[in-house]
Amino acid sequence: MKKITIAVSVILISLTGYSQTKTNNLQQNSGQRILGNVTTSGVTIGGYAQVDYNEPDGSTSGDLDVHRLVMLLGYKFNDKVSFLTEIEYEHVKEVFVEQAYISYKVNSNFNVLAGLMLVPMGIINEYHEPTTYYGVERPNVDKYIVPTTWREIGVGINGNIYNASIKYQFYVFNGFSSYKDGVGLLRGVDGLRKGRQKGAESNVSSPNFSTKIDYYGIQGLRLGLSGYFGRSQTDDTTIEDSTVGITMIGLDARYRYQNFEFRSQYIYTKLSDTEQYNTLIGSDLGSEMNGFYGEVAYSFNLKGVEKITPFLRYEKYNTQAKTAGSLVKNLANDKNELVFGLNYKVANGAAFKADYQLVNNAISGSETSKQFNAGIAIWF
């Protein structure tokens, strides 16, 4: 752990040093002077919403749900200091805080952030507003492998190096909870998902490090490399086996040329000490997880900002790509999926969506499960 800390510190300091020399000259004063009506402080209100209809094939009945309704409330104290919150209603009745952090702008491309923040891993966790992706639901790689919406309390920095077209982010976060009140939380079927503490009376026993580097220097293309390193948290540090080590690496790409779009993502997770952990709590957590998806979309322009976009996505993910010790893999966790559908954008920030999902698992002779989804997506 120490080695990682030192290495990252060195990278960080050199990064900030570099960005500094290039941008020391930036300042806000004269901007304010000229731009008379610019608000230098005040409240921002926004939000996003996703209302879905899901109907599995067969005799099961459909499901109508206000899946997410999120209210964004921000306050800008001055040009350097702002506070952002997102309060989420999930399935109407569950209330969560999705983000709540203060941002301190040291200079134009170097910010210090602290509070409840999103972990930068892959595409969707950070860019999770429903109008930014195709498909009624978020990709399942971003549900089972990256447990979106993944957020924890932490402190970090981010910024851009404009000469190199790079965005950098680095944070120290609280981690997943693996053991609480004598109960183990992590399991084979959904990996780390149940371990998210979401900043709610969260236990902290060891720090986790998160970083993401994005490169956007090639026109139309954006590439991302994310890393997350650390250990899960426990409320009883005397039980050594109650935590697991976590290393997660993500690669993502988004490309757009005129009306054609492509995006892809690969996430690899290595979990250590899962054999002892599974023995302790009687669970079936895998020692490796991975997930991949590729998506193509083409937009047809209609009048004004209206667009209709057919898309096709293939996903493959496995929450038990490897298991430790004598644990036998459950092939039902090894899934692949084909999703195709239409996105009808009616305004910047409002869309109607419909898609059809075909999910297979690796059990031989198992049937394809099919689902029709439709919904509305809003972001303002």
Partner 1 sequence: MKKEILFFIVLTALVAFKPINKIDKLINSEIKKTFVIDNFTIESIKVKEDLNKELPIKITDSNFKKINIDSKNLGYYYQGKAFGKVDYFDFLVIFNSNLVIKKVKILVYREDRGGEIGSKRWLKQFIGKSVDNSLKYGNDIAGISGATISAKSITFQMEKLLQSISILHRKKII
Alpha carbons 293 and 309: distance in angstroms, whole number: 18
> Nearer to partner 1 by C-beta: 2 or 93?
2
> Nearer to partner 1 by C-beta: 49 or 327?
49
Minimum distance between the CB of residue 32 and partner 1, rounded to whole angstroms? 9
Count of beta carbons in the 10 Å neighbourhood of residue 365: 4
Nearest to 126 by CA among 285, 254, 244, 281: 254
Minimum distance between the CB of residue 137 and partner 1, rounded to whole angstroms? 20
Query: Is 199 within 8 Å of 152 (Cβ atoms)?
Result: yes
> Nearer to partner 1 by C-beta: 81 or 92?
81
* Beta bridge mates, 110: 107
Alpha carbons 378 and 51: distance in angstroms, whole number: 9
Minimum distance between the CB of residue 88 and partner 1, rounded to whole angstroms? 18
Give the binding site for partner 1 (CB under 8 A): 5, 9, 12-13, 16, 20, 24-31, 33-35, 38-39, 44, 46, 74, 76, 79, 84, 103-114, 127, 132, 155-160, 162-163, 165, 167, 172, 174, 204, 207, 214, 216-220, 222, 254-259, 263, 348
Minimum distance between the CB of residue 256 and partner 1, rounded to whole angstroms? 6
- 371: Cβ contacts below 8 Å, ≥ 6 apart: 54, 55, 56, 57, 356, 357, 359
> Nearer to partner 1 by C-beta: 142 or 214?
214
State both tokens at 140.
């399942």
Minimum distance between the CB of residue 108 and partner 1, rounded to whole angstroms? 6
Residue type, 322: K
Minimum distance between the CB of residue 132 and partner 1, rounded to whole angstroms? 8
Minimum distance between the CB of residue 219 and partner 1, rounded to whole angstroms? 5
Minimum distance between the CB of residue 84 and partner 1, rounded to whole angstroms? 8
> Nearer to partner 1 by C-beta: 96 or 262?
262
> Nearer to partner 1 by C-beta: 265 or 373?
265
> Nearer to partner 1 by C-beta: 7 or 35?
35
DSSP 218-276: STTEEEEEEEEEEE-EES-TT-GGG--EEEEEEEEEEEEETTEEEEEEEEEEEEESHHH
- 304: Cβ contacts below 8 Å, ≥ 6 apart: none
> Nearer to partner 1 by C-beta: 206 or 330?
206
Alpha carbons 16 and 9: distance in angstroms, whole number: 10
Nearest to 185 by CA among 175, 170, 195: 195
Query: Is 273 within 8 Å of 242 (Cβ atoms)?
Result: no
State both tokens at 25.
């000259």
Minimum distance between the CB of residue 152 and partner 1, rounded to whole angstroms? 12
Q: Which residue has the tokens 């096709």?
A: 312
> Nearer to partner 1 by C-beta: 138 or 167?
167
Q: Which residue has the tokens 């002892």?
A: 276
Alpha carbons 320 and 188: distance in angstroms, whole number: 6
* Beta bridge mates, 329: none
